[in-house]
C-alpha cells in the first residue's frame, strides 16, 4: 500500500470522531520512550487509537502506546494540541513513509509547531542522566549513507527536492524552552543544549561507536526523531526537540585487557578490573518515569508561550 494514499481517509476519520474545537490542533507533540504521561495535563482529551486510523502502523516498543491524543493544554481556553503516544522506529521494520506518516497528518491538520521528545544516551560527560537536552543540531549517519527518510519521489510537488537542514531546530522554540525552565524555577543544570546523533538501532552502541559519535560532535544518541524532524521541516513546521538523558553511553576510559588478566593470573597476582556496565531499555523507561513530571511541566509551559511568539504563528 502507498502510505501516502490514505491521507484523505485519515483526515476524514479524524473529522468524524473529534469535536470541532479539537479538529485543528495548533501544536503537535511526539512522546518519546516512557514519556506518554505528557498527555495527563491535557483537558477534554479525545484518544484515537492508531488501529482506527488508515495509514497508521502500531508501535511495538514497550513504553510507547499506539494512539493520537487530542486535547487542550494551558491556562484559560487552552491551546488545541495533538500528541503521538507512541512513535515508529526504523528498527521495528517500519519503512520511512510509515514512520513519518503521523507527521504528515499533523501538517495537514494545521500544526505549525512541533515538540518532539525522546529518550537518549549521553555521550558527553558534562550531560548527566536526568538532563533534558534542547537539541540544536543533529548528526544522522543513516541520512548520509543512503537511508534518508526523503528517498524516493517527492510526496508533493510543492516540497523542495533538496531540503536545507542548517536551520532545522527553531531558535525561537529553543528560546521558549529555556524561558519556560526559568519560569518553572528549574535548576540551571536541568537543561542543556546539544547535538543528537541518530542511529538505526535496535542495538545500543559499542564503546567504539560511542567514542566515534562523541568525536564527531554528538552529545546524545538515540534511534528516533531525525526522520520526524526532516519531514516536519519538509512540511514547513517549526521544530523543537528535547531529549531526556536516560543513561550514559558506555565508553570506558580503558578497555579491560584480557591479556593483562591472564598474565596476572599466571603470576598468581590479582588486578583491579574496570567496572563493566551495560544499558537496558528498562533503565531507559525508569528514568522516563522519574522525569515525566518535569518534562510535562516544561512542555505545558512551552505550549502556553507559543501563541505569544509572533514568529511562530
Ligand X SMILES: O=P(O)(O)O[C@H]1O[C@H](CO)[C@@H](O)[C@H]1O
Ligand Y SMILES: Nc1nc2[nH]cnc2c(=O)[nH]1
Q: Does 223 bind ligand X (CB under 6 A)?
A: yes
Cβ atoms within 10 Å of 267's Cβ, excluding its own = 8
State yes or no: is 255 an active-site residue.
Answer: no
Residues constituting the chain: 313
* 224 marked ligand binding residue: yes
Residue among 168 and 312 whose Cβ is closer to ligand X: 168
Single out the catalytic residue among 57, 64, 94, 169. Answer: 64
Q: Is 215 annotated as a binding residue?
A: no
Q: State the Cα–Cα distance between residues 157 and 146, nearest whole angstrom.
A: 22
Q: How far is the C-alpha of 217 from the C-alpha of 40, rounded, in Å?
A: 35
Based on CB atoms, which residue is closest to ligand Y, 12 or 203? 203
Binding test (CB under 6 A) with ligand X, winner from 14, 22, 25, 89: 89
Q: What is the Cα–Cα distance from 61 to 224, expressed in whole angstroms?
A: 12
Is 59 marked within a binding site?
Answer: no
Q: Which three cell numbers stand for residue 23?
A: 479538529
CA distance 128 to 196: 15
Question: Would you give the distance in Å from CA 307 to the centre of its chain?
Answer: 22
Separation of CA 134 from chain center = 11
DSSP per-residue codes, 22-78: GSS-SEEEEE-TT-GGGGGG-EEEEEEEGGGSTT-----STT---EEEEEEESSTT-
Q: Is 284 in the site for ligand X (CB under 6 A)?
A: yes
C-alpha torsion sign, points 292, 295, 301, 302: negative
Annotated active-site residue in 4, 46, 52, 91: 91
When the beta carbons of 205 and 234 are compared against ligand Y, the nearer one is: 205
247 in a known ligand binding site: yes
Judged by the rule CB under 6 A, the positions of this chain that interact with ligand Y are 119-121, 199, 201, 204-205, 221-223, 246-247, 249, 279, 284
CA angle 140, 84, 236 (to 5 degrees): 55
CB of 117 to ligand Y, least distance (A): 12
Minimum distance from residue 223 beta carbon to ligand Y (Å): 5
How near is the Cβ of 249 to ligand X at its closest, in Å? 12
What are the cell numbers at 216? 564527531
Q: Which of 36, 59, 83, 89 is catalytic?
A: 89
Question: Nearest-CA neighbor of 72 among 36, 115, 39, 35?
Answer: 39
Min dist CB 286 to ligand Y, Å, is 12
Minimum CB distance to ligand Y smaller for 59 or for 113: 59
**Of the residues 59, 84, 92, 238, which is catalytic?**
92
Applying CB under 6 A, the span of 99-107, 162-170, 221-229, 233-241 interacting with ligand X comes to 221-229
Binding segment toward ligand X, per CB under 6 A, in 4-12, 93-101, 223-231, 298-306: 223-231
Q: Give the Cα-Cα-Cα angle 294, 283, 119 (nearest 5 degrees).
A: 50
- Interface with ligand X (CB under 6 A), residue from 10, 66, 131, 224: 224
| Catalytic residue list | 33, 64, 89, 91-92, 119, 223-224, 247, 281
- Interface with ligand X (CB under 6 A): 32-33, 61, 87, 89, 118-119, 201, 222-225, 281, 284
Residues annotated within a binding site for phosphate = 33, 64, 87-89, 119, 224
Residues annotated within a binding site = 33, 64, 87-89, 119, 205, 224, 247
Amino acid at each position: 500500500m502507498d502510505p501516502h494514499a490514505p491521507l484523505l481517509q485519515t483526515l476524514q476519520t479524524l473529522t468524524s470522531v473529534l469535536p470541532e474545537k479539537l479538529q485543528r490542533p495548533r501544536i503537535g507533540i511526539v512522546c518519546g520512550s516512557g514519556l506518554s504521561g505528557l498527555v495527563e495535563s491535557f483537558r477534554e482529551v479525545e484518544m484515537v487509537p492508531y488501529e482506527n486510523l488508515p495509514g497508521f502502523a502500531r508501535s511495538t516498543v514497550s513504553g510507547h502506546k499506539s494512539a493520537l491524543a487530542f486535547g487542550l493544554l494551558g491556562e484559560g481556553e487552552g491551546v488545541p494540541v495533538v500528541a503521538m503516544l507512541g512513535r515508529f522506529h526504523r528498527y521495528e521494520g517500519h519503512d520511512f513513509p510509515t514512520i513519518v506518516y503521523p507527521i504528515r497528518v499533523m501538517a495537514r491538520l494545521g500544526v505549525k509547531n512541533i515538540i518532539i521528545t525522546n529518550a537518549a544516551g549521553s555521550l558527553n560527560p558534562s550531560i548527566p542522566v536526568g538532563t533534558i537536552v534542547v537539541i540544536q543540531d543533529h548528526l544522522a549517519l543513516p541520512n548520509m549513507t543512503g537511508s534518508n527518510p526523503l528517498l524516493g519521489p517527492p510526496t508533493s510537488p510543492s516540497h523542495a527536492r533538496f531540503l536545507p537542514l542548517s536551520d532545522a531546530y527553531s531558535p525561537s522554540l529553543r528560546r521558549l524552552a529555556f524561558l519556560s525552565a526559568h519560569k518553572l524555577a528549574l535548576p540551571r543544570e536541568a537543561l542543556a543544549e546539544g547535538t543528537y546523533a541518530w542511529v538505526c538501532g535496535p542495538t545500543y552502541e559499542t564503546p567504539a561507536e560511542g567514542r566515534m559519535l562523541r568525536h564527531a560532535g554528538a552529545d546524545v544518541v538515540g534511534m528516533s526523531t531525525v526522520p520526524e524532524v526532516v519531514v516536519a521541516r519538509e512540511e514547513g513546521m517549526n521544530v523543537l526537540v528535547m531529549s531526556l538523558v536516560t543513561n550514559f553511553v558506555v565508553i570506558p576510559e580503558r578497555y579491560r585487557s584480557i591479556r593483562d588478566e591472564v598474565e596476572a593470573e599466571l603470576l598468581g597476582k590479582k588486578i583491579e578490573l574496570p567496572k563493566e556496565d551495560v544499558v537496558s531499555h528498562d533503565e531507559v523507561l525508569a528514568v522516563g518515569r522519574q522525569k515525566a513530571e518535569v518534562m510535562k511541566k516544561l512542555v505545558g509551559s512551552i505550549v502556553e508561550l507559543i501563541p505569544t511568539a509572533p514568529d511562530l504563528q
